[in-house]
């Protein structure tokens, strides 16, 4: 039985004060959320310590937006596994299309981050997805398959989440059709060869489309950007209903 993971990626948003305000409004809205799903928030590094305290005794787990493969060293701007372990982080987000695009992250680096995550007790959420041009050229499946084969090499599928995030659907309001997202998630499952793998969809997820997405057979959760910044919209997503 695959346990759904509903995750909010705050990206470069939220000061500590804003995070406190968010949680003050959000936690009461998820007090009665069914215990059949995991709720996760990925704050920026500066708010991780604040969020760790706010999440104590709540049903919300913490994710880091990055992790390095070394425990320490001369890596300006990076964050190490031991730094995250101090703050009760459970998940890491790696391979997101934004660092792939803006910082030229390679599948090999992403694989190193994911391996480091598992070696240090975190569950990596490994993001994959094609661009608009790649989809137009009919290359979507080939691109995603390469990202899966190289990015997931050597990983334990039982301690892993894969997020299918088509780049053209991120922050654009253009959601991938639920049936198409489900088809790609099914392909990813067959390529990985693990029936129990948890696979999320991400890209313009919002209160208006969450129920349809979560009703799909191969979609086991969502990775949410913009709609995770408002307590009421993320709570509605967390409280999705499939019947």
The set of catalytic residues is: 96, 165
- Token output for 87: 């703050």
Burial of 108 (0-12, 13-18, 19+ CB in 10 A): exposed
- Pairing outcome for strands 60-64 and 5-9: unpaired
Size of the site for ligand 13P (CB under 6 A): 14
Side-chain half-sphere CA neighbours of 28 within 13 A: 4
The nearer residue to ligand 13P, 9 or 194, going by C-beta atoms, is 9
116 binds ligand 13P (CB under 6 A): no
User: Given candidates 64, 109, 204, 239, which one binds ligand 13P under the rule CB under 6 A?
Assistant: 204
Closer residue to ligand 13P (CB): 171 or 208 = 171
Distances (CA, A) of 138 to 130, 131, 141, 185, 218: 10, 11, 8, 17, 22
Q: How far is Cα 226 from Cα 187, in angstroms, rounded to an integer?
A: 27
Binding mask 161-180 for ligand 13P (x = CB under 6 A): ----x----xx---------
| Interface stretch with ligand 13P, choices 21-29, 49-57, 184-192, 222-230 (CB under 6 A) | 222-230
Q: Is 225 in the site for ligand 13P (CB under 6 A)?
A: yes
Nearest distance in Å: CB 167, ligand 13P: 9
Q: How far is the CB of 170 from ligand 13P (least distance, A)?
A: 4
Question: Which residues does 60 contact at the CB level (< 8 Å), separation at least 6?
Answer: 27, 30, 39, 40, 41
Residue 64 phi, psi dihedral angles, 5° rounding: -95, 150
Nearest CB to ligand 13P, comparing residues 115 and 126 = 126
Q: Residue from 4, 202, 221, 231 that binds ligand 13P (CB under 6 A)?
A: 202
Closer to ligand 13P by CB, 87 or 230: give it. Answer: 230
Select from 52, 57, 77 the least CA-distant residue to 67: 77
Whether the CB-CB separation of 114 and 157 falls below 8 Å is answered with no
CB of 83 to ligand 13P, least distance (A): 22
Residue 5 binds ligand 13P, judged by CB under 6 A: no
Shortest gap between Cβ of 16 and ligand 13P (angstroms)?
21
Return the number of other C-beta atoms located less than 10 Å from residue 195's C-beta.
Answer: 9
CB atoms within 10 A of CB 157: 15
Q: For binding to ligand 13P (CB under 6 A), which residues are involved?
A: 9, 96, 165, 170-171, 202-205, 223-227
């Amino acid at each position: 039985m695959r346990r759904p993971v509903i995750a909010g990626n705050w990206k470069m948003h939220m000061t500590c004060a804003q995070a406190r305000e968010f949680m003050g409004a959000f936690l009461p809205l998820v007090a009665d959320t069914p215990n059949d799903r995991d709720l996760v928030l990925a704050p920026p590094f500066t708010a991780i310590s604040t969020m760790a305290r706010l999440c104590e005794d709540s049903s919300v787990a913490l994710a880091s937006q990055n992790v390095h493969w070394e425990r320490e060293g001369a890596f300006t701007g990076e964050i190490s596994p031991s730094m995250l372990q101090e703050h009760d982080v459970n998940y890491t987000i790696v391979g997101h299309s934004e660092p792939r695009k803006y910082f030229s992250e390679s599948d090999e680096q992403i694989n190193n981050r994911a391996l480091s995550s598992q070696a240090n007790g975190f569950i990596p959420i490994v993001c994959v997805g094609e661009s608009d041009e790649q989809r137009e050229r009919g290359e979507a499946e080939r691109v995603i398959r390469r990202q899966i084969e190289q990015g997931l090499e050597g990983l334990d599928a039982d301690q892993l989440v894969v997020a299918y995030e088509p780049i053209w659907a991120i922050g654009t309001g253009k959601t991938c059709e639920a049936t198409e997202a489900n088809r790609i998630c099914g392909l990813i499952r067959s390529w990985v060869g693990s029936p129990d793998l948890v696979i999320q969809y991400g890209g313009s997820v919002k209160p208006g489309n969450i129920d349809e997405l979560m009703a799909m057979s191969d979609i086991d959760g969502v990775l949410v950007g913009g709609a995770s910044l408002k307590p009421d919209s993320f709570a509605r997503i967390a409280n999705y209903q499939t019947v």
